[in-house]
Structures are given as C-alpha cells and as structure tokens.
C-alpha cells in the first residue's frame, strides 16, 4: 500500500494525502499529538510512506510578524521530526519550486496575498474537483500534485 502525504506547515496550513489512490485532507491540527496520531493511522499497512513538507524560507520578510514566523518554524520542526520518527521518507520542497511548477505567475504579480492565495485555491480546486478545497488545504493539495509529478523514486 502506498502513502504520499503533503504538508503546508503554517498555522493556517493543512495536510493532504493519497493512500492507494484515495485522497483526503485536513486543516493543520493544533496539537502535535494530533498530527502524530494522524500519521500513525495513515501509515498502517503502507510500504515506504513519503511526506513532502513545504520548506520554510529562512527569511520570510519584514511584513510578517515574528509570532507567525515562530509558529511556522515550530510546526515545520514538529512535522519533520514526527515524519522521520514514524518512518516516512521526508522530502522538503521550497515554495518557489512547487509554485513554479503550476505556471500561475508569482505572488508579487498579484495585488495582494489574498489574491495569490485565492489563485492557488482555484488551481487546487481545478486539479482536485472531487475534493473540498479550502484556503487551509489548497497548498497541501498542490504540493501533493507536485510530488506526484516530480517523484524521483519508486
């Protein structure tokens, strides 16, 4: 049984996964114990589970509050640690890389962050029409689609 998990580690992020062709998702759980419980449930009976986590940029920008940055880095560390501890093959993917893959332009070309996030959500909804795509899960679904497209190992 194959398992591919994709994660947008932000506090308003999400987790999307494909387990033997079945897709599902959730908003980022508030507690790491909930993430670990989810990962433990997902890996049962799987062979070589993979987790693709959006790599956190080292400099986020002056307009982003340090409290937001702290939560992002904390979640990233928790997710990578939990994935590795549970036997996932962890792949880190830069936002630029997965976003460029979809040829939607760049965030800078949009009038606002909201416009950019809605553009990503619309693309995720187009690619996954049977899923309920939200702003929290859109990036995770796009990372999942990127992972399926560029997989470099069986």
Q: What is the pLDDT of residue 148?
A: 94
Q: What is the DSSP letter of 104?
A: -
**Does the pLDDT value for residue 24 go beyond 90?**
yes
83-134: per-residue pLDDT in tens?
A: 999 999 999 999 999 999 999 988 889 888 899 999 999 999 999 999 999 9
* Strand, helix or coil for residue 94: coil
Cα–Cα distance for residue pair 75/68, rounded to 1 Å: 11
What is the β-pairing status of strands 14-19 and 89-93? unpaired
53-71: per-residue pLDDT in tens?
A: 999 877 666 666 666 677 7
Q: What is the pLDDT of residue 50?
A: 96
Burial (CB < 10 A; 0-12, 13-18, 19+), residue 134, is: middle
Total residue count of the chain as it appears in this document: 154
CATH number of 3-150: 3.30.420.10
**Tokens (6 digits) for 139:** 């990036």
**Does the pLDDT value for residue 73 go beyond 70?**
yes
Q: Which residues pair with 18 in a beta bridge?
A: 4, 23
Q: What is the pLDDT of residue 108?
A: 87
Concatenated DSSP letters for 43-63? HTT-SS-EEEEEPPPS---TT
What totals of helices (H) and strands (E) does the chain contain, helices first? 5, 5
Residue ranges per structural domain of the chain:
3-150
27-36: per-residue pLDDT in tens?
A: 999 899 999 9
Q: pTM of the entire structure?
A: 0.91
pLDDT band of 79, cuts 50, 70, 90: very high
């Amino acid at each position: 049984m194959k398992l591919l998990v994709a994660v947008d580690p932000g506090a308003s992020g999400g987790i999307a996964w494909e387990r033997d062709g079945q897709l599902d998702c959730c908003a980022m759980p508030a507690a790491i114990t909930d993430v670990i419980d989810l990962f433990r449930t997902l890996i049962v009976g799987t062979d070589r589970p993979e987790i693709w986590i959006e790599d956190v940029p080292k400099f986020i920008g002056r307009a982003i509050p340090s409290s937001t940055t702290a939560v992002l880095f904390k979640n990233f560390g928790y997710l990578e640690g939990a994935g590795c501890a549970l036997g996932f093959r962890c792949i880190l993917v830069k936002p630029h890389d997965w976003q460029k893959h979809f040829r939607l332009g760049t965030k800078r070309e949009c009038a606002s962050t909201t416009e950019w996030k809605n553009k990503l959500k619309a693309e995720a909804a187009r690619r996954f029409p049977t899923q309920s795509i939200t702003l929290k899960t859109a990036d995770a679904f796009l990372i999942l689609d990127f992972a399926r497209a560029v997989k470099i190992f069986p």
